[in-house]
Amino acid sequence: MNISVVGTGYVGLVSGACLASKGHETICIDVDKAKVEQINSGVAPIYEEGLPEILSETIGKKLRADTNLREAILNTELSLIAVGTPYKGDQIDLSYVRQAAAEIGRVLADKDSYHVVVVKSTVVPGTTEDVVLPILEETSGKKAGQHFGVGMNPEFLREGCAVADFLNPDRIVLGGIDERTLGVMKKLYQAFPDTDIVTTNPKTAEMIKYTANGLLATMISFSNEIANLSAKLGGIDVTEVMRGVHLDKRLSPILDNGCRIIPGLTQYLAAGCGFGGSCFPKDVRALIAHGKKYEEPMSLLEAVVKINAQQPNRMLELLRKHFRELRGLKVSVLGLAFKPGTNDIRESPAIPILHQLQKEGAVLTAFDPVAEHEMRHLFNDSAVRYTRSLDKAVEGADAVLLITNWPEFSELPRLLASNTVLIDGRRAISKDAVPRYEGIGLS
């Protein structure tokens, strides 16, 4: 199939490159000329595992990037809209989606053959049919369902493993306004014959995406709330509590051969210093705002956000158990990315933690295997001393705060001095492996 992808952010570029690797002739469109050139030279503009390999496999063959949207729409039969939907004020900002729809519509006015426009960006339920479709009709002067199709195909890509997630999806959700649209959308994924496909309407597809992220975020905040109470009560380690909970057969089924399946889901029942990233915080807040708009308050999700906002502060409370005064205290913050495997620091718990420590006059050192450059935009060299290695980061520290569960931090027991306090925000290190240990959900 000939397809076009509008927007070359992590969703657009990963989707475009992966679909090209499955044999589709793919054009990725972006207004940023420099980015387009970079992609065409085979260089990935973002840090994402597997992306450089898949780009070099496809670029100049099945995949190319371009700034010319008109030519791309005219020469393809399906377009994915994969532009950003940042959270602004009290709702998601649809201006990029509107703009993309209007530009596509203006080209459809001059196109004779049937074209399908699919929204891949995360948008609140109703957006595809109530916002995108009318813009397409208005700007093209044509009728949806007759001259062109409109669909919604949410992404479920975790940052850091987006390529693997795209190539080995848990499920594919296709929301289309009619059977003809769905038929074309199915062709897009015909190289995934073993994957479960949910075919539905666009509004349900949009709701599936928000519900999936809302559920995972709820489980994290639930675990963190239990962790905080466990720590307050004393004598309880939340990791043991959660192990006991995981062994419910409904969470980890036992197969006929007696083996137990340990689903990835139980990972979300592990306590920590809070979730971040570009999806969970934004999606949960957007769903809350949508509920408010329709006078259906999302009380549970409001609590999820509230608990998460307080969680970084738990790290500082644990620190204060050992040090009354933070002024002049040498504190090392390990992990700046919102999770391992990415250089994305958006909504990372490290940000409020660094802010508070800075405010209280701590002497700050930070280390992250890949996200240092990004954090320098928020905290420059005079605020934080960045080190290039883990051993340099912890040398001479009074306290070390583990914020992101990077695998290299498993070396900490070997590196920490006997008087350094480790505050483990991810329960990554065994509590008996270092002399002075504090962890979320443990007292």
**Catalytic residue annotation:** 279
- Identify the residue among 28, 101, 157, 318 touching ligand UDX (CB under 6 A): 157
Q: Which of 270, 318, 336, 362 binds ligand UDX (CB under 6 A)?
A: 270
CB of 235 to ligand UDX, least distance (A): 23
- Structure tokens of 146? 């007759």
Q: How far is CA 386 from CA 368, 376, 383, in A?
A: 9, 9, 10
What are the DSSP E strand ranges found in 83-161?
87-88, 91-92, 115-119, 148-152
- Interacting residue with ligand UDX among 47, 96, 210, 275 (CB under 6 A): 275
d(CA 318, CA 403): 13
In the window 390-429, what residues touch ligand UDX (CB under 6 A)?
Answer: none
- Give, for 78, the enclosing helix (H) or strand (E): strand 78-81
Binds ligand UDX by CB under 6 A, chosen from 87, 192, 268, 323: 268
Q: Which one, of 212, 235, 240, 133, lies nearest residue 178 by Cα?
A: 133
Nearer to ligand UDX, 67 or 211 (CB): 211
Q: Which is nearer to ligand UDX, 276 or 369 (CB)?
A: 276
H helical segments located in 348-435: 350-359, 372-376, 390-394, 412-415
User: Do residues 221 and 307 make contact, with C-beta atoms less than 8 angstroms apart?
Assistant: yes
Pick the piece of the chain touching ligand UDX (CB under 6 A) from 101-109, 182-190, 266-274, 287-295. 266-274
Q: Which of residues 335-354 bind ligand UDX (CB under 6 A)?
A: 338-339
Contacts with ligand UDX: how many residues (CB under 6 A)? 20
156 lies in the site for ligand UDX, by CB under 6 A: yes
Give me the 100-119 binding string for ligand UDX, x by CB under 6 A, dash otherwise: --------------------
Among 78, 144, 227, 279, binds ligand UDX (CB under 6 A): 279
Is residue 94 within the footprint of ligand UDX (CB under 6 A)? no
Given 267, 380, 419, 430, the residue binding ligand UDX (CB under 6 A) = 267
Nearer to ligand UDX, 48 or 103 (CB): 48
Please give the Cα distance from 413 to 264 (Å, whole number). Answer: 27
Q: Which is nearer to ligand UDX, 69 or 316 (CB)?
A: 316
379 binds ligand UDX (CB under 6 A): no
CA dihedral 344, 434, 398, 237 (to 10 degrees): 70
Structure tokens at 140: 């093209």
Instruction: Name the minimum Å distance from CB 113 to ligand UDX.
Output: 32
- Stretch binding ligand UDX (CB under 6 A), from 77-85, 124-132, 265-273, 429-437: 265-273
Rounded distance, CA 61 to CA 20, Å? 9
C-beta of 155 vs 368, nearer to ligand UDX: 155
The single residue among 12, 16, 175, 276 that binds ligand UDX, judged by CB under 6 A, is 276
How does strand 171-176 pair with strand 148-152? antiparallel
Cβ 333 to ligand UDX shortest distance, Å: 15
- The DSSP result for 192-211, as a single string, is -TTSEEEEE-HHHHHHHHHH
- Which 116-155 residues touch ligand UDX, going by CB under 6 A? 155
Work out how close the CB of 276 gets to ligand UDX at its nearest, in angstroms, rounded to a whole number: 4
Edge-first strand order for the sheet with 385-386 is 385-386, 363-367, 330-334, 399-402, 421-424, 436-439
- Give how far Cα 153 sits from Cα of 166, 189, 217, 365, Å: 12, 11, 21, 43
Contact 364, 333 (CB under 8 A): yes
Choose the stretch contacting ligand UDX; rule: CB under 6 A; options: 72-80, 131-139, 176-184, 274-282: 274-282
What length does the chain have? Answer: 443
Site membership for ligand UDX, residue 213 (CB under 6 A)? yes
Instruction: Name the minimum Å distance from CB 31 to ligand UDX.
Output: 24
Question: Which one of the spans 80-88, 272-280, 379-387, 414-422 is the region binding ligand UDX (CB under 6 A)?
Answer: 272-280
Q: What is the dihedral of CA 21, 25, 26, 27, to 10 degrees?
A: 150
Smallest separation (angstroms) from ligand UDX to the CB of 213: 5
Residue 159 contacts ligand UDX per CB under 6 A: yes
3-state secondary structure of 400: strand
243 lies in the site for ligand UDX, by CB under 6 A: no
Task: For tokens 């070099």, name the residue.
Answer: 56
Residues that bind ligand UDX (CB under 6 A): 155-159, 213, 216, 220, 267-268, 270, 272, 274-277, 279-280, 338-339
